[in-house]
Chains A and B, each alone.
Chain A
Amino acid sequence: MTLTRRHILAALPLTGAAALGLGFQHILSSMKTGQFDPRAIRTSGEAVPQFPPLSPLPGLKGTIEGIECTSLTQQNKPILLNFWASWCIPCVTELPLLSALAPSLTLWGIAYKDRPERASAFLTRNGQPFERVGQDKDGTAAIEWGVTGVPESILILPGGHVVWHHRAALTHEVITHDLLPLLRPFL
């Protein structure tokens, strides 16, 4: 059978459909492996957003400061900002990982939509890895940060550059594959 123009024309839509299928497959598989996230927001060193100052969480050991825009941009070390809540179950499993990170990385916590007494009891019970803890009682600061829920972690490099926003609980894999490579110049 010779290859005529008609055969080529008939093959065109088929190859088109196949290419489309391969494209979808590529998107779905890279979504599974975490290489592609349609929800990802571009965090390529944007400035820290303007958020209302967050008052410190009372009831913790030592003097804990709150979190404001200016104190975040004036740092000369990287800071991992972690949104959490006492009512959040993944936060309980995430806390030991944060505690393991605490000696080498400064952690600032934000208690999201939480009552101060419950939030401080949560940290006293499960460990307190944060240098500062602010309260975001109504979630307005979270919206300025583009946070959709808890837990979420954001890495801010010196000068107030947001370079990473992780919209789930931290895991060993996420820390080693995504977070540590960004921190390498500062360790």
Chain B
Amino acid sequence: MRFFHSFFLTVLLLSPAASYAVDDPKELLPNPQQEQEAEQIGQQLRCLVCQNESIEESSAPLARDLRKIVRQQLTQGRQKSDILAWMSHRYGNFIQLKPVFNSETALLWLMPFLALGSACALSYRLWFKRPMQARSLQDTALKKD
């Protein structure tokens, strides 16, 4: 029994986490490489009428329409960046699940580096400055003797 439990759990964990809401197999592009690219683009586009789902995961009609457009444009030979720009132009930057880097999002993107930098500076001060201070105090104490 335990074996079966762990077996199913392993299978569950190993199976790909993302499930796609392609309602109709006709939606898929015949070229598997292009289809994979379309899925990658779709995963970066927010379904605007859902709660934090990508258009690739959602079965909302708008997500289906946008999936269709991504595939249409890919077969027309357009690049990923062109398609993302096309979407942002119409629906705003909010449609991109990964925020673009601009003046509004600079703090968001730079925060990890700022935090890491200030943490390093702080720890440097705490670890290297204090023993020196202590030593100098000791020195003065010795001199007094």
Contacts and interface: CB of A to CB of B under 8 A. Distances in A.
Interface string B58-71: 00011001100100
B94 A148 contact: no
A41 B49 contact: no
Contact of B91 (A9, A41, A140): A41
A145 B90 contact: yes
A7 interface: no
A39 B49 contact: no
Contact of A146 (B49, B61, B91): B91
Contacts of A149: 49, 62
B90 A144 contact: yes
A146 B92 CA distance: 8
Interface residues on A, range: 10 to 19
Main secondary structure of the interface of B (DSSP, over half): helix
B94 A9 contact: no
Contacts of B126: 9
Contacts of B18: none
A40 B62 contact: no
A143 interface: yes
A42 interface: yes
Contacts of A113: 61
Interface in A133-147: 138-140, 143-146
Contact of B66 (A39, A42, A138, A143): A143
B49 A148 contact: yes
A21 interface: no
Interface string B62-88: 100110010000000000000000000
Contacts of B69: 143
From B61, B69, B91, B122, name the one whose CB has the most chain A CB atoms within 10 angstroms: B91
Nearest to B122: A9
B46 to A, nearest CB: 9
B8 to A, nearest CB: 39
Given A9-B122, A148-B48, A148-B49, A139 B90 contact: no
A89 B92 CA distance: 26
A177 to B, nearest CB: 21
A138 B91 CA distance: 18
A148 B92 contact: no
Given A9-B122, A39-B48, A139 B91 contact: no
B90 A143 contact: yes
Nearest to B125: A9
Contacts of B66: 143
Nearest to B88: A41
A49 interface: yes
Interface of B: 48-49, 61-62, 65-66, 69, 90-92, 94, 122, 126
Interface of A: 9, 12, 38-42, 49, 113, 138-140, 143-146, 148-149
Given A139-B65, A143-B65, 16 more contacts: A9-B122, A39-B48, A39-B92, A39-B94, A40-B94, A41-B90, A41-B91, A41-B92, A42-B92, A113-B61, A139-B62, A146-B91, A146-B92, A148-B48, A148-B91, A149-B62
